[in-house]
Copies of this chain bind each other. A is one copy, B any other.
Amino acid sequence: MTDVRNLFAALDAFDGHWQPHRVTSLNDYDVKVVKVLGEFVWHTHPETDELFLVLSGELTIGLREDGVEREVVLGPSDVFVVPRGVEHRPRADVETAAVLVEPQGTVNTGDAGGDLTSPLRELPPR
């Protein structure tokens, strides 16, 4: 049986940026929290949509689709789903915390790889 987890307590349990930590799982999906600061890499998840829910700060997501580039800006309690196959690049000019929901095994850098690729981390025991 799962337990109740608080999203902000989960964020307080680790430090690094661009390092998703699992809060809980739902069927074959993971619910993760992540702290971000600075610019991520352009990447695509060809197989899945990706949900962002901002908890604090401000997250800008650059999007490239059909040759058109645009940005969406998310503040606290804003939700956005990047559709599968759409190239995107998150950026945060201030430290920002977000929830990610996506299928288990989804890699943070998608098809791009590189130094920012992070394994899914578990929260430390309480």
Which A residues form the contact surface with B (CB < 8 A)?
Answer: 1-8, 23-27, 29, 31, 48-51, 53, 55, 63, 65, 72-75, 77-81, 83-84, 86, 101-103
Contact = CB atoms under 8 A, between A and B. Distances in A.
A49 to B, nearest CB: 5
Say how many copies of this protein the assembly contains. Answer: 2
A78 B5 contact: yes
Contacts of A74: 4
A79 B33 CA distance: 12
Contacts of A72: 3-4
B81 A24 contact: yes
A65 B1 CA distance: 9
Contacts of A81: 2, 24-26
What 10 pairs across the A-B complex have the smallest Cβ distances?
A7-B77, A26-B51, A2-B81, A26-B49, A4-B80, A24-B81, A5-B79, A27-B49, A6-B78, A4-B78
A7 B79 contact: yes
Contacts of A50: 26
Given A26-B49, A29-B29, A77 B101 contact: no
Given A83-B1, A101-B101, A77 B25 contact: no
